[in-house]
Every structure is written in structure tokens, then in C-alpha cells.
Amino acid sequence: MTSLRKIDFRRHMPSTTFVALALLILSGLGGIAIYLGLYNIAADAPHYRFTYWLIENLRDQSVAARARSIAVPKDLADRNRISAGAGLYTEMCSSCHLAPGVEKTEISQGLYPQAPELARVSDHSPAQQFWIIKHGVKMTAMPAWGKTHDDKLIWDMVAFVQQLPKLSPSQYQAMIESAPQDHDAMMQNRNEPQNAPHDENGPHTHHDAEH
């Protein structure tokens, strides 16, 4: 231990000038690469494996950190909520995320990164799904639906997505056939003011009409 204390580690470290110069050179090379358009941004040219791994982990950790404080409603299993969510999902999400018995669409095949098929896999919690649907994800085709849909409608979509992996093709078809048909009317109905405030970081209350 004493011998370690005698070592002058500063002698083995690069100088501040060297580090600053190296960073300046790297920044310059990066700027040149951007200016010359050397990186292929095309959706049909996949990332390098390390690049994809880095982006995927950045996305997952970012979503997890921001969804941690979101309170999940207790009525996600409510039939009205799931039915409303089925209509929204079919109209807004199924062309990218598909559904039971739905073949790959032209849009879904052209996306990069590929949109997850939510009937097959769901690696996110309800709170994380809510955050993703509401805020979207940069550099993907996932829009921020919170710009046009309030929290109640987004929780409806989450309620349906939670059920999606359990549905057979026939069950899915039956569910969307019984879903509200008029999107605008449904949004107006679901957007009616509630007595209690509705915030993504606080308790959520919702009273659905019985079937």
C-alpha cells in the first residue's frame, strides 16, 4: 500500500494539452463525416450491431426512468376501456404493430427499426407503455399521441395492448367489431371533463358506463 502511495500517477497520464488536442481532432473528423454525408441514414441500411445495441439500451433506460413515477389506473381490465382501446389501436396502431391474424403491411415492412409486434411480445410495463404512447420515441415512426389524445384515451390503448397477446385472431376480430366505430365521437365522449383531475403522475379515476 505504501509503495502505491509513492507512485506519481500524473506521470503516467496524458497531458491536458494532449487530451484537448485529441478531442479537437475527433470532433473535427466527426464534423467532416457529417458534412460529407458519410453515414447512410437510409431505413434499409441497418445500424452496426453495436450502434443498435447502444440505441436500444438508451431507449429502454430512458423510458424506464421516466415511467417510474406514473400511477397505473386500477381499472385497466374494464370492458369499456378495453373496447375503446381496441378501436383506437386498430385505427392508429395496427398498420405498424400488427395484430393477431393480421399480415405484415407495407408500412410495417419498411420501418427501421421494426415496430414490435405487440401481439407476440411486450417487454414494457403498463406505465412504460403509457409513456411511450403519450410521448413517442425519437428516430422511430412512433408518434407522440399525447399531442392529440388525452390520458384517458391513452390508458384505454394501454388496457387493450395488455390484452392483445392473449387474443386469438377470431377474438381480435370480434373485439374490434364491437368497438366504437366513430373515432371522433368516441374521442369527444371520452374527453368529457371528469370531477377529479387527471395527471399521468398522480392517481387516475375513471367511471365507465356499464354495457
Q: Inform me whether the pLDDT recorded for 62 exceeds 80.
A: yes
Quickly count: other Cβ atoms within 10 Å of residue 84's Cβ.
Answer: 25
pTM across the whole model: 0.77
pLDDT at 163: 95
What is the arithmetic mean of pLDDT over 97-102?
95
Question: How would DSSP label each residue in 54-123?
Answer: HHHHHHHHHHHHHHTTPPPPTTTT-HHHHHHHHHHHHHHTHHHH--TTPPPPHHHHH-SSPPP-TTT---
pLDDT tens digits, 155-205: 999 999 999 999 999 999 999 988 876 666 666 665 554 443 344 544 343
Helix axes 79-92, 151-163, angle to 10 degrees: 90
